[in-house]
Amino acid sequence: MSASDAILLGLALYAAAGAVTALAFVAVGISQVLPHPLAATLGARILLLPGSFALWPYILLRWRKARSHA
């Protein structure tokens, strides 16, 4: 495996993990991270999707932290 293949594989794995995490977070996790009186509308969920896709490691940390405090 060449270096470029390894880099592309790493990017593909990062993107796949980001897609799974972003979809799960926007569908379920956002209500666990936000304070309870706040509800996320469909528009807010759509706007949060690209950011949660790119920053999925941080999203997982916040989600885990919110679940441990609940």
Q: What is the pTM of this model?
A: 0.80
Distance of alpha carbon 36 from its chain centroid, rounded? 20
**With 80 as the cut, is the pLDDT of residue 36 above it?**
no
In this predicted structure, what is the pLDDT of residue 60?
A: 92
Q: What is the pLDDT of residues 8-25, one digit of tens each?
A: 999 999 999 999 999 999
Cα dist from 40 to 13, 26, 32, 43, whole Å: 29, 9, 11, 8
Q: What is the pLDDT of residues 54-66, one digit of tens each?
A: 999 999 998 898 8
Q: For residue 22, which of 44, 43, 50, 42 has the smallest C-alpha distance?
A: 50
